[in-house]
Structure formats: structure tokens, C-alpha cells
Amino acid sequence: MKERIVLAYSGGLDTSVAIGWIADATGAEVIAVAVDVGQGGESLETVRQRALGCGAVEAYVADARDEFANEYCMPTLKAGALYQNHYPLISAISRPVIVKHLVKAAKQFGATTVAHGCTGKGNDQVRFEVGIQTLGPDLKCIAPVRDLALTRDKAIAYAEEKNLPIETTKKNPYSIDQNVWGRAIETGYLEDIWNAPTKDIYSYTDSPEFPPAPDEVTITFKEGIPVAIDGVAVTPLQAIEQLNRRGGAQGIGRIDMVEDRLVGIKSREIYEAPGAMVLMEAHKHLENVTVEREQARFKATVSQRWSELVYDGQWFSPLKRSLDTFIEDTQRYVSGDIRMELHGGRAVVNGRRSDTGLYRFDLATYDTGDTFDQSSARGFIDIFGLTSKVATERDERVAGEAK
């Protein structure tokens, strides 16, 4: 039997051409693997038939939308993960679930190599190959664009020569990656970081300049996971999809940033993540009510490190797994309702309630019913400030002796 190579297949021009390109360059049979993580567009069956029409000997397709929402988006939400305080890891968290299915398909069809369509400048090559090495250590990796010199011009010429069932058009000026958690746009006009984004690049969000009437929404969480919207039960996938629609209509979740790529270069990126950013804001405010102070302070550090690990392709790493354990423990009491107003590009929390919260009216109030013992404050302040007081006295003594 010929050697077999599994290819991460999107259904577009580049990966469709890569099927035959890889076969010609290596002599191997190609199995196309398409994974639906909520990117929209064509049906999986359409994608499957195109892969076969382009020369794949097998086509593995997986509807992973719920899997992606439950096992990848929800941990990101619980972690409060925003790379460089802005990016909700849209592409970074989709790569591990795709890797999981690539390795599964390789085992199922007896493949020895996994191929992906990444370039040598981006983060995704690392995310794919580190994940593949971890889940399938016996598998080899190749990247046709990076390793086999497959350029866009060559792809178009090859598709026309072979009469492949794929539209060959001039390259879109932007590179776009999307899933249910959000949408990422880069390159082209945006590479001049002085240029403002044009309106045509947005798809998940309407302009916040002329929003519809304010939209009030109540999100119910159980142990950090959204379980109902406006009192109606939802799955994580349904919660993200519904808030994508409602948040997107208000122009919420547009992000324009210059980020630090793993390979050492800075890159200008535009993101749209209406559902993710609404959920992040709601979750953060519920944590403010339910998570103990020292836990919350330390979780901020953990969240930053978790974000960096996932961005850098270390989803399956031991450290990330250990941080998951801490984060999961912090979510034990993150249950309750958050009421928000969505309007004009902003998601503003205006109501909170939780049966497991740490907010107590009798301790917080300045009115009748106050149970806080204010007489304890003076002694607390004396002890709390003692180390600084002693250090200052030392500084003054040493300065006086030096004169």
C-alpha cells in the first residue's frame, strides 16, 4: 500500500490544490480532513465531495461545533483568557480540536504524515505541529506552502491545468480565519498600521455608529458556564451563537491590535468576537461577586500565563493542564445571573445576583443594618502598615547617621 498523508482541508483553493500537489511531490495518497468549528459557509458534504473531486482517496469530515464550544471555548471563558489583554484566542483555540481530528484520521486510515496549509511566518504552523507531535508522536508533518513551494500563483495555475472543481480567483486582499468564537482578519491594506480598517472587512459585526435600540440580556451561569439566556436554557454553542447575533447587531467585539507573534515579529490583527466578548464581560463581573479576593488576584496571573501558553501552541502541555486544574477550582461558585445592556459597541453590566456570592449587604451598607465592626479598623491599619513604618524609621536613621 502507498504511503498516506492526512491533509487539514478547508475546501478552498490552496488546500484543494494541495491534495494533488502533495501526491505529485511525494507519491503518497492524500486523505482530506475537514473539521467544522462553526466557520459557516458550505456544508460538510459539499466540502467532502470537492476533496474527492480534487483527488483525495478518502475524505474525513467532522461536525465539531459542540465539541469546540464545550471543550475549547468554555475553558477559555473560565480562564478569562485574552492574549495581551485583548485577543480572545479565536484561531489559537480552534487548532487543537482540528489537530485532534487530524491525528484520529491518521490512525483510522493508516497515514504516516500530517499536512497543513500554514506558512513559515505564522503561529499556526507551531500550533499544528506541536499538537500533532504531542498526540501522535510517530507522525511526521509537512506544510506544502512552507515545505513544497506551493504559492498562490502556482495553485491557480495547477487548478486550471488539472481542471479541479474549485473556483480560481484573484487573492482576497485579506487573510481571514473564522469560527463560532470569532473572526480574524490580517494582511493586505492592514499591514500599514496607520491605515484604519475599512467597513468592508467586517462580517460578524454591524457598525456601532448607528446601533439599533439597546438590547438588555440576562445570562445565567453555572460553575462558570452559560446555561441560559433570558431564562431560556442554552448549550454553550447556542449561547455563543445567540450572543454573536445580538452582540454583533450592536457592533460589539471589534478589536484592532498589534500583537507579538510566537516567531518573533509583530503583526497587525483585526478581530471580531461579539459573543465571546459579551460572555467574557459577563463572566468577569460574576467572578467579581463570587471569587474570593486572593484567588481572584492570583487567577489574573494564571489567566495571563494560560493565554500565552495557548497562543504559543501549548494547549496539550503539562503546565497548561495544571493551570486548568486551578482555574476549574475557581469556578466552583461562579453561578448566578448577569444582566447587561448591549448598545453601540459596548456591553455594560447593570445587574448581578448569585446564591453563591460573597457580596453581603449587611457588610457593605452604610445605612441601618450595618454589621461591620468599624472599631476593628484602627488596630488593623496599625498592623497592616507596620512594616512600612519600621522601614521608614530605618531609612531616616541611616540617612541621619550618614550626615
Query: Would you list which residues are annotated within the binding site for L-aspartate?
Result: 119, 123-124
Q: How far apart are CA 72 and CA 37, in angstroms?
A: 10
Would you give the DSSP letter of residue 360? -
Query: Which one of 124, 267, 303, 307 is the catalytic residue?
Result: 124
Q: Please give the full DSSP string across 65-128, using - where no structure is assigned.
A: HHHHIIIIIHHHHHHT--BTTTB--HHHHHHHHHHHHHHHHHHHHT-SEEE----SSSSHHHHH
Q: How far apart are CA 239 and CA 181, in angstroms?
A: 11
Q: How far apart are CA 349 and CA 47, in angstroms?
A: 41
φ, ψ of residue 225 to 5 degrees: the values are -115, 135
Q: How far apart are CA 69 and CA 238, in angstroms?
A: 9
Which helix (H) or strand (E) element contains residue 322? helix 318-330
* Residue with grid cell 486510515, as numbered in its chain: 109
Q: Three-state SS for 172?
A: coil
* Residue with grid cell 475553558, as numbered in its chain: 75
| Residues that constitute the known binding site for L-citrulline | 87, 123, 127, 175, 259, 271
* Residue with grid cell 475524505, as numbered in its chain: 59
Intra-chain end-to-end CA distance of the chain, in Å = 89
| Residues that constitute the known binding site | 8-16, 87, 117, 119, 123-124, 127, 175, 259, 271
Nearest to 132 by CA among 92, 101, 89: 101
| Cβ neighbours for 383, distance < 8 A, ≥ 6 positions apart | none
Does 376 qualify as catalytic in the annotation? no
Q: Which three cell numbers stand for residue 52?
A: 474527492
The answer to whether 142 and 5 are in contact (CB under 8 A) is: yes
Does 66 qualify as catalytic in the annotation? no
Q: How far apart are CA 342 and CA 325, in angstroms?
A: 33
Query: Which one of 63, 175, 215, 261 is the catalytic residue?
Result: 175
Query: Which one of 14, 36, 206, 312 is the catalytic residue?
Result: 14
Does 124 qualify as catalytic in the annotation? yes
Query: Which one of 4, 95, 183, 246 is the catalytic residue?
Result: 95
Q: How far apart are CA 347 and CA 264, in angstroms?
A: 34
Q: Three-state SS for 401?
A: helix
Does 303 qualify as catalytic in the annotation? no
Catalytic residues: 14, 95, 124, 175
